[in-house]
Structure 1
Amino acid sequence: MKRIVLLLCFLISSLAFSQSEEAFQRGNSLYNEGKFQEAIDTYLSIINNGEESAEVYFNLGNAYYKLSQIAPSILYYEKALKLDPGDADIKNNLQFANNSKIDVIEVLPEGIVSRTTNSLINTFTFDGWAWTSVILILLFVASVLLYFVSYTSLKKRLFFTTAILGLVLSISSVLFAYKQYNLVQNEKYAVIFSEESEVKSAPNLRSEVSFELHKGTKVKILDKVNNWNKIKLADGKIGWIPTEDLREI
C-alpha cells in the first residue's frame, strides 16, 4: 500500500514539474515574441501553483522591465537574487532597473572585512554552502584514511595538510550556510510600490513626515505594527510606512 502511495506521489510531482516546465517554455516564447504581459501572466501562473525558481523570477523581472514597470521588475530581480545570489546576469539587470528609479539612496560605507565576508557568503545559497560542507567533510575523511595507509613521510604530510584544510573549510562552509540562512529568514526587505509614499516618524497618520519615497526603492523591514512597517534605508534613515505601499521580497 505504501508503495502505491509513493508511486502516486511521484507521478503527481512529475506531472506538476512537467506542467511548470511547459508553462516556463511557453512564457519564454511569448517573451521572445514581444508579448510581455502574456509572458508575465504565464510566469505568474507557475508561481501561483507553488513553484518558484531564480529563472522564473529573473524572466518576470525582464518582462516587467520591458513594459517600463520598474517597481515589479526590481521586486522580481531581488527575488531571483535571493535564490541565486551569485548570478551575474541577475545583478547586472537589477542594476539597470535600479538606475531607472527616482530615489537615489547613498549607501553607507562598509568596512573592507565586512564587505569581503558578505561577498563571500553570497557566492552560494544556503543549499550551496551546505553541499560544499558535505563535500569538504568527505575530503577530510578520505585524507585521514589515506594518511594512515600511507608509508612515506611526504605523502603523510600531504594528506595531513589536506585533512586539516578540508576540516577548516568545512567548518567555514557551515558558518557561511548558517549566516546565509539567517539573512534569508530573519532579514526582511521590500520594494516600494506606491508612486509616492510619505514615510512617517511614528506608525500613525497624525505623525510628522520624515521623508518621501517613490516606486522601486528597496527598504529593510525592521518591525511591524498593525498596518504599518518600520523601515530602514541603505543610508541609515528610519521611518514608518503603510503596508499597502510596499511588497515584501
Structure 2
Amino acid sequence: MSAITAILVATLLGQAYYSPEEAQLLFQQANESFLKQDYTTAREGYEKLLSRGFGGPDIHYNLGTTYLSQGDLGRAVLAFERARRAGGEGPDLEANLAMARAQQLDKVVGTAPEEPFLQRVVAATHGNLVAWLFLGTWLAGFAFVFLFRVLRPGGRAWAAVVGGLLLTASVPSGALLAAHVWVHETLHEAVVIAPTLRAREFPKEEAKVAFEVHPGLKVRVMEETGRYVRIRLPNGLEGWAEREGVAEI
C-alpha cells in the first residue's frame, strides 16, 4: 500500500468512527443545543451520530423531537417510528408521536383489508421478549441435556425430562421468532416526507394521479420499479409514488 493510499484510508476511517466517549460528548452537545433552541445544530449532531452507526432509540427520539420543533412532520414521525423499532418505548415517545400525527394534513378514512394471520400474531407480540424466551429455553434445555450426560446413571432421569420439556418449549418460541424475522424482512413500512406526494395509477409520470398524501402519513411499500414505489395507505388505497417522497422506517 502506498503512503498516499494509507493516508486516505486512515482519513476515511477516522471520519467514519467515533469512540464511545466522543459519541457521548456529541450527544450531550446536541442535547444542549436543543435546550438552547438551536434546533439546526442539534439536528446536525444527532444525524452525524446516526451516520456513524450510533442508532439507539434515544438518538432517534431526540432527533424526532428536534424535527417536530422545526415543523418537519414527516421526518419527525419517521424518527419516532425508528425509535420504536429500535426498542424505544415510554409515554414521552407515544405523546410526541401522537402530537406529530395530530398535525398531519391527511386523515385517512375507510376500512383497511384484514392483515394476514401471521402479521397479526407478530404485531401482538414483542420481538425482543420472544427472542429472549427462545434463547433462554433453548440454552437451558441443552444445559440439562449436558447435565444428564455427566450425572451418574440412576439419578439423572429428571435432567433428561426437564431438558426435553425446555427444548420442546423452545420450538413454538423459535417459530414465532422466525415469523418476526420474516415479517421484518418482507414488510416494508415507510413515512411520507415529501411536502405533497402524488400517487399515480401506473409507475409513469404521465399516468393519472389517483390521490395525494402529505408529510407524516405512515404507508406500506408493496413493490418498486425504477424511481417509483407502490404504496398502500392504512385504508387499503394503493398508488405509485416517487421513491424519494417516502422514507422506510
| Conservation of the 8 A alpha-carbon contact between 1:199 and 1:240 | yes
Following superposition, the deviation at residue 77 of structure 1 comes to 1.0
Change (3 A) 1:144 1:77: same
| Conservation of the 8 A alpha-carbon contact between 2:122 and 2:179 | no
Partner Cα separation in structure 2 for residue 94 and residue 233 of structure 1:
18
Partner Cα separation in structure 1 for residue 22 and residue 116 of structure 2:
46
CA distances 1:182-207 after superposition (whole Å, capped 9, x unpaired): 23322222211222222100011222
Letter in 2 for 1:25: Q
Partner Cα separation in structure 1 for residue 58 and residue 212 of structure 2:
33
Change (3 A) 1:69 1:212: same
Would you say 1:97 and 2:94 are equivalent positions? no
Tell me the TM-score normalized by structure 2: 0.77
Letter in 2 for 1:133: F
What secondary structure is seen at the aligned counterpart in 1 of 2:48? helix
Partner Cα separation in structure 2 for residue 42 and residue 62 of structure 1:
13
Partner Cα separation in structure 2 for residue 189 and residue 41 of structure 1:
25
Please show how residues 42-121 of structure 1 align to structure 2 within 5 Å: 42-84=45-87, 87-89=89-91, 90-106=93-109, 108=112, 110=114, 117-121=121-125
Partner Cα separation in structure 2 for residue 248 and residue 112 of structure 1:
21
Partner Cα separation in structure 2 for residue 223 and residue 109 of structure 1:
18
Change (3 A) 1:169 1:92: farther
What secondary structure is seen at the aligned counterpart in 1 of 2:236? coil
Following superposition, the deviation at residue 211 of structure 1 comes to 1.3
| Conservation of the 8 A alpha-carbon contact between 2:196 and 2:214 | yes
Partner Cα separation in structure 2 for residue 22 and residue 185 of structure 1:
34
Give 2:22's aligned residue.
19
Partner Cα separation in structure 1 for residue 124 and residue 162 of structure 2:
22
Partner Cα separation in structure 2 for residue 19 and residue 183 of structure 1:
36
Following superposition, the deviation at residue 62 of structure 1 comes to 1.2
Following superposition, the deviation at residue 109 of structure 1 comes to 6.6
Partner Cα separation in structure 2 for residue 15 and residue 100 of structure 1:
36
CA distances 1:97-120 after superposition (whole Å, capped 9, x unpaired): 222211122462757966862344
Partner Cα separation in structure 1 for residue 115 and residue 137 of structure 2:
29
Partner Cα separation in structure 1 for residue 124 and residue 53 of structure 2:
30
| Conservation of the 8 A alpha-carbon contact between 1:230 and 1:240 | yes
Letter in 1 for 2:201: S
Please show how residues 213-228 of structure 1 align to structure 2 within 5 Å: 213-228=213-228
RMSD over aligned Cα atoms = 3.2
Give 1:37's aligned residue.
40
| Conservation of the 8 A alpha-carbon contact between 2:228 and 2:242 | yes
Give 2:10's aligned residue.
none
Change (3 A) 1:161 1:208: farther
Give 1:133's aligned residue.
134
* 5+ long unaligned stretches in structure 2: 1-13
What secondary structure is seen at the aligned counterpart in 1 of 2:108? coil
Letter in 2 for 1:41: E
Following superposition, the deviation at residue 213 of structure 1 comes to 0.7
Give the stretch that moved more between structures: 103-112 or 27-36: 103-112
Letter in 1 for 2:232: K
Partner Cα separation in structure 1 for residue 181 and residue 60 of structure 2:
20
Change (3 A) 1:100 1:164: farther
Partner Cα separation in structure 1 for residue 216 and residue 194 of structure 2:
9
Q: Identity percentage over the alignment?
A: 21
Count of aligned pairs between the two proteins: 231
Partner Cα separation in structure 2 for residue 226 and residue 100 of structure 1:
32
